[in-house]
């Protein structure tokens, strides 16, 4: 089976993890701060807080922005459930902004319309979480302008997008947002097995993220309210969690990060080859680079129903039958039974539902060979010829 995505682990990665395992610290040592520094220097943000997953980082980001009961958080329906769940963890209400059918990202026009209505009704969001679907940045300048106008905060869910650019600067620089989150799950661009990271340029937010990651405990005398009892003394000054990344994970991430340019280069070359070769297939290809340059985490094609009667299910099953590990990203979050139990109904976001009925993610990962890719192309030509 050719998978839709796969990690790429080198001997250097293995050696880095083994060295961490033989070191004095398995957790809370020097490696994770080194990894944080490497990521923030690469993307150009001031503060970085590594966590045990992007889900945890999104949760911390919401808490750092003081999302709580009675607040509204808006996100895209075409995302992994974690982009919405993070708001529910904080007791907030989630609302979904329909997607732009061309970019698969949250539609800025739809966002602007919903904000006008929400302002009239007194139901403005506290936080908006745009998701950089498949690794291609949302129009962050426009979203940031709306944030200024309507007074909401912005968390970029850039789980797919480390290595991508927006307006010639790396995704993650937080130029147009309060906090940006990356995921290091194995199918993502760079992996730590499980892991995530939150970036911000705001020192107070950075401090809050750091505190919440580790139980709300500080050893910084400046933050303490009582006299120190001695050198062992620490204070819990808020209610935090244990969302820390281990040294083994940090070592893997640090080593992986050395190869990010090669990973992105190969992904981009494969995406270009798909575009060049999928010319006789009744599918719509993903958008090309413009102001946003994708990291190509996913290559999502859409069955073009104006040109073929063959449905997505048939194409999906035929490709799986040929040993091609296609997948679908994503089922609209609000169609999940849990969200249905909260009262969200089908029909809420028509563009997202239409997208869901047509989308297939076809294989793309750095270790994929041209021969593998030719096999995928040949089977697509056979299954959905124009
Ligand atoms: C993978 C992913 C997450 C969650 O990442 P984890 O590191 O697995 O917790 C969140 N949002 C999006 C869009 C993702 O793809």
Per-residue pLDDT of 50-66, as tens digits, reads 999 999 999 999 999 99
Q: What angle do CA 264, 268, 273 make, to 5 degrees?
A: 150
Q: 194 CA distance to ligand 1 centroid (A)?
A: 10
Kind of pairing, strands 165-166 and 153-157? Answer: unpaired
- Ligand 1 atom with least separation from CA of 160: 15
| Segment (H or E) for 34 | helix 31-43
State which of 4, 51, 55 you would mutate to test the pocket of ligand 1, scoring each by most atoms of that ligand within 8 A of its C-beta: 55
Question: Three-state DSSP class for 292?
Answer: strand
- Nearest ligand 1 atom to alpha carbon 79: 13
191 C-alpha to ligand 1 centroid (Å): 12
- Helix 203-213 and helix 54-64, axial crossing angle in degrees, nearest 10: 120
Distance CA 264, CA 207 (A): 31
Burial grade of 231 (CB within 10 A; 0-12, 13-18, 19 or more): exposed
What pLDDT, on the 0 to 100 scale, is given for residue 155? 99
Q: Are 44 and 172 in contact, with CB atoms under 8 Å apart?
A: yes
Mean pLDDT of 158-182: 98
Note the pLDDT of residue 305: 87
Q: CB-based contacts of 210: which residues, under 8 Å, 6+ apart?
A: 49
Question: Which tokens sit at 74?
Answer: 């808006």
Q: What's the pLDDT tens digit per position in 219-245? A: 999 999 999 999 999 999 999 999 999
Q: Count other Cβ atoms within 10 Å, centred on residue 192.
A: 31
CA–centroid distance, 288 to ligand 1, in Å, is 23
By C-alpha distance, which of 59, 47, 341, 376 is closest to 206?
A: 47
pLDDT score, position 383: 94
Residues whose CB falls within 8 Å of the CB of residue 74, separated by 6 or more in sequence, listed in order: 94, 95, 96, 97, 111, 114, 125, 127, 128, 129, 152
Closest residue by Cα to atom 6, ligand 1, is 54
Instruction: Say what the pLDDT of residue 333 is.
Output: 98
Distance 183 CA to ligand 1 centre (A): 6
When pLDDT is averaged across residues 138-148 and rounded to a whole number, the result is: 98
Q: How far is the CA of 116 from the centre of ligand 1 (A)?
A: 30
Q: What pLDDT, in 10s, does the model give residues 304-354?
A: 989 999 999 999 999 999 999 999 999 999 999 999 999 999 999 999 999
Q: Is the pLDDT of residue 289 over 90?
A: no
pLDDT at position 361 is: 98
Whole-angstrom distance, CA of residue 237 vs CA of residue 135 = 37
For residue 189, give the nearest of 314, 341, 15, 54 by alpha carbon. 54
Atom 8 in ligand 1: residue holding the nearest Cα: 185
**55 CA to centre of ligand 1 in angstroms:** 6
Whole-number Å distance, alpha carbon 187 to ligand 1 midpoint, is: 10
The pLDDT of 356-368, averaged and rounded, is 97
Query: What is the atom index within ligand 1 of the atom nearest the CA of 194?
Result: 7
Q: What percent of the chain has pLDDT over 70?
A: 100
Higher pLDDT, 306 or 127: 127
Distances (CA, A) of 252 to 192, 194, 319, 365, 372: 5, 11, 33, 18, 27
Tell which one of 185, 297, 300 to mutate to probe ligand 1, the residue whose CB is within 8 A of the most ligand atoms.
Answer: 185
- 373 has a pLDDT exceeding 90: yes
Residue 103: pLDDT over 90: yes
- Residue of 7, 83, 330 with the most ligand 1 atoms within 8 Å of its CB, for mutation: 83
Task: Quickly count: other Cβ atoms within 10 Å of residue 10's Cβ.
Answer: 12
72-82 pLDDT tens trace: 999 999 999 99
CA of 169 to the centre of ligand 1 (A): 22
Residue 386 has pLDDT above 90, yes or no: no
Classify 308 as helix, strand or coil.
Answer: coil
Q: Pairing between strand 324-325 and 292-293?
A: unpaired
Rounded to the nearest 5 degrees, what angle is found at the Cα of 42, between the Cα atoms of 41 and 47?
40
Could you report the per-residue pLDDT of 192-210, keeping only the tens digit for each? 999 999 999 999 999 999 9
The pLDDT value recorded for residue 319 is 97
Of ligand 1's listed atoms, the one at least distance from the Cα of 131 is 13
- pLDDT exceeds cutoff 90 at 385: no
Please compute, for residue 248, the number of CA atoms within 13 A of its CA located in the half-sphere on the CB side: 7
Distance between Cα 182 and ligand 1 center (Å): 8
Q: Which ligand 1 atom is the nearest neighbour of the CA of 188?
A: 1
What is the Cα gyration radius of the chain? 22
Atom from ligand 1 closest to the CA of residue 297: 15
Cis peptide before 330 (omega within 30 of 0): yes
- Inter-residue contact 140 to 148 (CB < 8 Å): no
Write out residues with Cβ below 6 Å of ligand 1.
53-55, 79-80, 82-83, 131, 157, 159-160, 183, 185, 196
Q: How many CB atoms lie within 10 A of CB 1?
A: 9
Distance from C-alpha of 386 to C-alpha of 283, rounded to nearest angstrom = 8
- Atom of ligand 1 at shortest range from CA of 58: 10
> What is the share, in percent, of the chain residues with pLDDT greater than 90?
98
Helical ranges in 177-288 per DSSP H: 203-213, 247-257, 260-277
What span, in angstroms and rounded, lies between the C-alpha atoms of 33 and 48?
Answer: 9
CA of 84 to the centre of ligand 1 (A): 11
d(CA 73, CA 145): 17
Provide mean pLDDT across the span 89-109: 97
Taking the centre of ligand 1 as the mean of its atom positions, its distance from the CA of residue 77, in whole angstroms, is 14
State the average pLDDT for the chain.
97
- Report yes or no: 121 and 88 within 8 Å, Cβ to Cβ: no
């Amino acid at each position: 089976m050719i998978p839709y995505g796969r990690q790429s682990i080198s001997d250097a990665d293995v050696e880095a993890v083994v060295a961490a395992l033989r070191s004095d610290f398995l957790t809370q040592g020097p490696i994770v701060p080194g990894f944080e520094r490497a990521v923030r220097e690469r993307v150009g943000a001031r503060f970085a807080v590594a966590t045990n997953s992007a889900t945890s980082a999104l949760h911390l980001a919401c808490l750092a922005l003081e999302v709580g009961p009675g607040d509204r958080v808006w996100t895209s329906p075409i995302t992994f459930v974690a982009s919405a769940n993070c708001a529910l963890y904080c007791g907030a209400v989630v609302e979904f902004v329909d997607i732009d059918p061309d970019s698969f990202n949250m539609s800025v026009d739809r966002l602007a319309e919903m904000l006008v209505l929400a302002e009239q009704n007194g139901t403005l969001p506290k936080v908006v979480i745009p998701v950089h679907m498949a690794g291609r940045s949302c129009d962050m300048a426009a979203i940031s302008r709306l944030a200024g106008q309507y007074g909401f905060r912005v968390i970029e869910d850039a789980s797919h997008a480390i290595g991508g650019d927006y307006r010639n600067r790396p995704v993650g620089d937080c130029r147009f947002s309060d906090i940006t989150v990356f995921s290091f799950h194995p199918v993502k661009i760079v992996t730590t097995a499980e892991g995530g990271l939150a970036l911000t340029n705001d020192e107070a937010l950075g401090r809050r993220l750091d505190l919440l990651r580790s139980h709300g405990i500080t050893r910084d005398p400046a933050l303490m309210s009582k006299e120190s009892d001695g050198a062992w003394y620490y204070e819990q000054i808020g209610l935090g969690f244990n969302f820390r990344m281990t040294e083994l994970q940090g070592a893997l991430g640090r080593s992986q990060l050395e190869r990010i340019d090669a990973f992105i280069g190969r992904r981009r070359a494969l995406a270009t080859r798909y575009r060049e070769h999928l010319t006789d297939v009744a599918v719509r290809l993903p958008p090309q680079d413009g102001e946003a340059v994708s990291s190509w985490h996913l290559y999502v094609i859409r069955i073009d129903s104006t040109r073929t009667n063959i449905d997505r299910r048939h194409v999906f099953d035929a490709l799986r039958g040929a040993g091609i590990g296609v997948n679908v990203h994503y089922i609209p979050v609000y169609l999940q039974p849990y969200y249905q139990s909260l009262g969200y109904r089908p029909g809420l976001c028509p563009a997202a539902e239409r997208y869901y009925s047509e989308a297939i993610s076809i294989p793309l990962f750095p270790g994929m060979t041209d021969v593998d890719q030719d096999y995928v192309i040949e089977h697509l030509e056979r299954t959905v010829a124009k």
